[in-house]
Amino acid sequence: MTASQVAVVIVNHDTRQHLHHCLDAVTPEAPGQVIVVDTASSDGSVDLVRRRFPAVRVIEMENRGYGAGANAGLREIDLPYAVVLNADTRPAPAALATLAAYLDDHPRAAVAGPLVVGLGGRTEATARRFPTPFELLLQETGLHRLRLRRAVAPRRVDWVLGAALALRTEAVKDAGAFDESYVMYNEEVDLCLRMAKRGWEVHYVPTAAVAHVGGASTSQQRSAMAARYVKSTVALYRRHYTTWQLAATRAILATALNARKARDRTRRVLTTDGERRAELRAQIHAWDAARAALRDAASSTSVNT
């Protein structure tokens, strides 16, 4: 199968140079549709696309988060499969066709996630288990790395990282697209949970590879993104898990955030490097923003049981 049955949706916010590289990687495969959804960038991203990639459709919209941007593109496609990408990704040659062929061969697979490789060639933890308080504890302590292994064969998983994923449009119509209320973080987890409840499957396909810079847009707003991560995590547990699981999640997040703030305050006291001290100060502010967001989220009493 070629990429002609694939629509590519790239969500971009102020990452012009990364977007350029992404389109350079995507267009040689000649996908059936390429759509760039620009969420109110101010760095000339839209002008770049229209000047250098005139065949690519551009949708301009306000910045309402990754899910809203992806949905704007998904609503415009008329092909069996869609590959949704962050602008700071670069699919390897034939990655789009490989993902489309895999979905074609696995009719119950609604979502397929490629092998995602970060800077320096490190494999990202793309294929993951559905969240539980225990899984969150492993993640927040870093212990999840002890069980990471590089899969060489495709397999069924719970969910895959949203930086790069292929979707069956039939399944999106059945289970719904991204929940836009998340704004940032956990949109893909929520989507895969809803897909599973409708009888669809999620697969990891390491035979297709995508390079990912990571954090190109979110690193520009560290405190806001830390707060958003906490809000989205609490929202996910509120909607899909029990009361005790939500309480445990809040306790784990609170402990992790307090520990990180204490760690970075100690590091700041011990360092004399001005640039490093400024970096640590910014990180401490981010932990404070996340702790405030957690307190705000705890005031809500709407919980799925």
Span 11-44, pLDDT tens digits: 999 999 999 999 999 999 999 999 999 999 999 9
Please tell me the distance from the alpha carbon of residue 303 to that of residue 235, in angstroms, as a whole number: 9
Please tell me the distance from the alpha carbon of residue 305 to that of residue 30, in angstroms, as a whole number: 46
pLDDT recorded at residue 40: 95
Query: Cβ of 199: how many Cβ atoms within 10 Å?
Result: 11
Domain containing residue 21: 3-216
The amino acid sitting at 196 is A
pLDDT recorded at residue 151: 60
DSSP per-residue codes, 182-251: G-SSSHHHHHHHHHHHTT-EEEEEEEEEEEE---TTGGGGHHHHHHHHHHHHHHHHHHHS-HHHHHHHHH
pLDDT, tens digit, 9 for 90 and up, residues 110-131: 999 999 998 778 888 788 888 8
Do 169 and 275 share a domain, yes or no? no
Please tell me the distance from the alpha carbon of residue 54 to that of residue 73, in angstroms, as a whole number: 17
Is 0.85 surpassed by the pTM of this model? yes
Given a contact cutoff of 8 angstroms between Cβ atoms, the answer to whether 82 and 178 are in contact is no
The per-residue pLDDT of the chain, averaged, comes to: 91
Q: Which of 216, 231, 259 is the last residue of a domain?
A: 216
Do 52 and 139 share a domain, yes or no? yes
Number of domains in the chain: 2
Beta strands in 29-163 (DSSP E): 33-39, 57-61, 81-86, 89-91, 109-117, 127-128, 155-157, 159-160
Tell whether the model's pLDDT for residue 301 goes beyond 80.
no
135: pLDDT confidence band, cut at 50, 70 and 90? confident
Do 80 and 201 share a domain, yes or no? yes
pLDDT recorded at residue 141: 79
Q: Which of 198, 216, 234 is the last residue of a domain?
A: 216
Tell whether the model's pLDDT for residue 303 goes beyond 50.
no
**For residue 70, is it within any domain?**
yes
Tell whether the model's pLDDT for residue 214 goes beyond 80.
no
pLDDT recorded at residue 149: 58
**For residue 101, is it within any domain?**
yes
pLDDT recorded at residue 304: 39
Instruction: Give the closest residue to 253 by CA, choosing from 277, 235, 278, 268.
Output: 235
Please tell me the distance from the alpha carbon of residue 266 to that of residue 226, in angstroms, as a whole number: 20
Q: Which residues have CB under 8 Å from 146's CB, separation 6+?
A: none
pLDDT recorded at residue 148: 56
**For residue 212, is it within any domain?**
yes
The amino acid sitting at 64 is R
230: pLDDT confidence band, cut at 50, 70 and 90? very high
pLDDT, tens digit, 9 for 90 and up, residues 245-280: 999 999 999 999 999 999 999 999 999 999 999 999
* Three-class secondary structure of residue 145 per DSSP: helix
Do 50 and 180 share a domain, yes or no? yes
pLDDT recorded at residue 171: 97
Given a contact cutoff of 8 angstroms between Cβ atoms, the answer to whether 145 and 124 are in contact is no
180: pLDDT confidence band, cut at 50, 70 and 90? very high
Q: How many residues does the chain have?
A: 305
Tell whether the model's pLDDT for residue 193 goes beyond 70.
yes
Q: What percent of the chain has pLDDT over 70?
A: 93
Do 14 and 144 share a domain, yes or no? yes
